[in-house]
């Protein structure tokens, strides 16, 4: 399929180029229109579109003087070089474009950043002023241009009054001006710096979890180590999955080397963080080419902040560029113990997706064995094994965790819940039920545990009325959860309340239209409400779903033949 797509693009581009050159042949003097030249250009375009920057820059590099014919070429060539971290080559090519009066958005940005790094701020401003809005960069242009200009103003004035305009920056990322305001106080070392950091990390309207790291890092740079530890330890409890926070916690508490260097007295590093925020926003809008470009500019501005690569890995993962993602995760693993474990988990998930389940399990087990274990890593390994249907091994790990922690520990009910699910999957219902009930005793408002226990009771024909009450409570807690809505409808069905059951099962279909079990439940309910034609329609639909298991398909084939009377 990928080969077909590549060939199709080559043919399509060739037809387009043929039309362009045939219609404007007389205007293109001295252009060597041969097959090899065309092949290099379009091979470069296709490689770029496929995020193969190695080959795109290789093909583009073979084209001499083509920027005079096509500015799109020069933009993509510079992006390819930047994405390969060939920053000096990108700079030299940008200078060449400038000499020919063919500068582009990307070339002016590169030239400005080079001057910025050399502290030639007047010249940097000259290039930044030449940035013009383009279709590609339209989503971030105003934010980028205004941010660069404001930071240049702060550098020039070094006056606290110059901070105020930053709050006026229009941003596709609503919180960027708040972040820049805090960094500006930090850069100028105002008396309000710590207060501004406190304001941002205590903001409840948005998730500023990342900036706990920057606050703690600022305190550490100021030699306020005890304060830094306090900030980062509290943040780690609040955000146990945040890599940046937990890696810095390891740096402060266990003296791991800090490979995420940041100092808000360094203006380049602040701009690097602004570019990272823009890259994140671009990724959220699926603009992965530009997201990668700005991430790599962040790396250029602050090469000592290694975790910028994590967003790059996420982009490639979404794009199904698994080998590229795996290579980045291998590099991320060198940052420290937190990133090491995270990277191995991500690689294992990629291997699982590639139908290499045993290799994925062995990879994670080996990584776990090579590292100092803690309850969170053990918990995550147990979850991975359970999801990989290694139930007995996962139960061993869950049990080992319960021996190490008190009932008051926040993981305790979660471990009981997961172990209960594993027991249920190996058909040890007595122990499964015990774990699920005990989990709810500690965490009585956990809608997911309520749903699992209640649905299991319903399927076993036990405690139906109790299950119904539990599911009504769970549904009130999470009204738009398709699984819970389905379970509530199914409990009502089991109690022969077919009319009310139809209301919830129909809603579950809306929430999860391609789930085979939910469609089967709804079809059963339609049948019992004397909507037999519609019921058959939904049963037939289940048979068309790839996710439907063979055992379910066999049951549905019987329903299509005999209805519910004989099944």
> 365-382, pLDDT tens digit by residue?
999 988 887 899 999 999
Handedness of CA 37, 98, 53, 135 (dihedral sign): negative
Q: Tell me the per-residue pLDDT of 386-403, one tens digit each, with 9 for 90 and over.
A: 999 999 999 999 999 999
Task: Tell me whether residue 474 is exposed, middle or buried, using C-beta atoms within 10 angstroms of its C-beta: 0 to 12, 13 to 18, 19 or more.
Answer: buried
In this prediction, residues 344-349 reach a mean pLDDT of 96
The whole-angstrom distance between residue 336's C-alpha and the CA centroid of its chain comes to 20
In this prediction, residues 439-456 reach a mean pLDDT of 96
Q: Tell me the per-residue pLDDT of 141-186, one tens digit each, with 9 for 90 and over.
A: 888 998 999 899 999 888 777 776 555 555 556 678 889 999 999 9
Closest to 78 measured CA to CA, from 279, 290, 271? 290
> For the residues of 34-88, what is the DSSP string, one character each?
-HHHHHHHHHHHHHHHTT-HHHHHHHHHT-SSGGGT-HHHHHHHHHHHHHTT-HH
- C-alpha to C-alpha distance for 492 and 485, rounded to whole angstroms: 11
pLDDT over 90 (residue 6): no
CA distances from 230 to 151, 189, 213, 248 (A): 31, 21, 12, 12
Average pLDDT, the chain: 90
pLDDT at residue 133 in the model? 86
Which range, of 7-21, 144-158, 194-208, 325-339, averages the lowest pLDDT?
Answer: 7-21
The whole-angstrom distance between residue 119's C-alpha and the CA centroid of its chain comes to 34
**Contact indicator for 442, 416 with CB cutoff of 8 Å:** yes
The predicted model scores a pTM of 0.84
- More confident position, 372 or 216: 216
Which range, of 35-39, 163-167, 228-232, averages the lowest pLDDT?
Answer: 163-167
pLDDT at residue 30 in the model? 41
**Contact indicator for 446, 422 with CB cutoff of 8 Å:** no
Task: Tell me whether residue 164 is exposed, middle or buried, using C-beta atoms within 10 angstroms of its C-beta: 0 to 12, 13 to 18, 19 or more.
Answer: exposed
pLDDT confidence of 31, banded at 50, 70, 90?
Answer: very low
- C-alpha to C-alpha distance for 90 and 333, rounded to whole angstroms: 28
For residue 520, the SS3 value is helix
pLDDT at residue 372 in the model? 81
**Distance spanning both ends of the chain, measured CA to CA:** 42
pLDDT at residue 136 in the model? 83
User: What would the two tokens of residue 339 be?
Assistant: 């990133």
In this prediction, residues 500-519 reach a mean pLDDT of 96
**Contact indicator for 218, 201 with CB cutoff of 8 Å:** no
pLDDT over 90 (residue 17): no
Closest to 140 measured CA to CA, from 285, 15, 254? 285
pLDDT at residue 407 in the model? 94
How many CB atoms lie under 10 A from the CB of residue 17? 17
For residue 426, the SS3 value is coil
User: What would the two tokens of residue 333 be?
Assistant: 């693993």
pLDDT at residue 565 in the model? 75
In this prediction, residues 537-560 reach a mean pLDDT of 93
Query: Pseudo-torsion of CA 313, 316, 320, 325, nearest 10°?
Result: -40
pLDDT over 70 (residue 297): yes
Q: Tell me the per-residue pLDDT of 273-291, one tens digit each, with 9 for 90 and over.
A: 999 999 999 999 999 999 9
Query: Pseudo-torsion of CA 284, 42, 2, 359, nearest 10°?
Result: -70
- More confident position, 308 or 40: 308
């Amino acid at each position: 399929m990928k080969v077909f797509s590549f060939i199709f693009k080559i043919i399509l581009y060739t037809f387009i180029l043929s039309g362009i050159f045939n219609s404007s042949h007389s205007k293109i003097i001295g252009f060597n229109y041969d097959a090899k030249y065309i092949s290099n250009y379009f091979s470069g375009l296709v490689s770029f579109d496929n995020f193969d920057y190695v080959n795109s820059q290789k093909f583009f590099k073979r084209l001499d003087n083509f920027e005079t014919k096509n500015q799109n070429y020069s933009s993509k060539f510079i992006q390819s070089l930047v994405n390969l971290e060939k920053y000096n080559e990108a700079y030299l090519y940008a200078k060449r474009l400038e000499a020919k009066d063919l500068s582009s958005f990307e070339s002016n940005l590169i030239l400005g950043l080079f001057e910025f790094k050399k502290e030639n701020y007047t010249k940097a401003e000259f290039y930044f002023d030449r940035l013009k809005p383009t279709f590609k960069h339209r989503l971030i242009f105003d934010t980028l241009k205004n941010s660069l200009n404001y930071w240049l103003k702060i550098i020039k004035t070094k006056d606290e009054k110059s901070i105020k305009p930053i709050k006026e920056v229009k941003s596709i990322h609503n919180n960027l001006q708040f972040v820049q305001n805090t960094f500006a106080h930090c850069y100028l070392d105002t008396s309000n710096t710590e207060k501004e950091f406190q304001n941002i990390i205590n903001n409840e309207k948005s998730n500023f979890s990342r900036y706990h790291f920057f606050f703690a890092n600022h305190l550490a740079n100021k030699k306020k180590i005890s304060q830094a530890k306090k900030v980062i330890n509290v943040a780690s409890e609040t955000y146990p999955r945040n890599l940046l926070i937990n890696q810095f916690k390891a740096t402060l508490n266990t003296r791991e080397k800090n490979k995420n260097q940041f100092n808000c007295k360094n203006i380049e590093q602040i701009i690097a963080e602004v570019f990272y925020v823009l890259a994140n926003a671009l990724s959220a809008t699926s603009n992965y080419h530009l997201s990668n470009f700005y991430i790599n500019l962040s790396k250029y501005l602050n090469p000592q902040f290694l975790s910028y690569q994590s967003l790059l890995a996420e982009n490639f993962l979404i794009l199904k560029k698994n080998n590229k993602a795996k290579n980045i995760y291998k590099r991320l693993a060198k940052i420290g113990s937190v990133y090491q474990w995270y990277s191995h988990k991500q690689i294992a998930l990629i291997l699982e997706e590639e139908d290499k389940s045993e290799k994925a399990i062995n990879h994670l087990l080996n990584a776990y064995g090579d590292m100092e274990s803690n309850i969170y890593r053990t918990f995550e390994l147990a979850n991975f094994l359970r999801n990989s249907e290694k139930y007995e091994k996962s139960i061993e790990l869950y049990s080992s965790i319960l021996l190490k922690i008190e009932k008051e520990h926040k993981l305790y009910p979660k471990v009981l819940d997961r172990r209960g699910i594993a027991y249920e999957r190996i058909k040890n219902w007595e122990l499964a039920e015990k774990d699920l009930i005990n989990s709810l005793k500690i965490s009585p408002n956990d809608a997911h545990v309520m749903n699992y226990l209640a649905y299991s009771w319903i399927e076993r024909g036990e405690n139906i009325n109790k299950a119904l009450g539990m599911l009504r409570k769970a549904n009130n807690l999470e009204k738009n959860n398709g699984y819970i809505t389905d379970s509530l409808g199914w409990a009502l069905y089991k109690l022969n309340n077919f009319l009310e059951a139809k209301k919830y099962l129909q809603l579950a279909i809306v929430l999860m239209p391609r789930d085979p079990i939910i469609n089967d439940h709804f079809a059963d309910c339609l049948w019992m409400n004397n909507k037999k034609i519609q019921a058959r329609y939904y049963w037939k639909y289940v048979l068309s779903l790839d996710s439907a298991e063979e055992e379910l398909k066999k049951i549905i084939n019987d329903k299509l033949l005999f209805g519910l009377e004989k099944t």
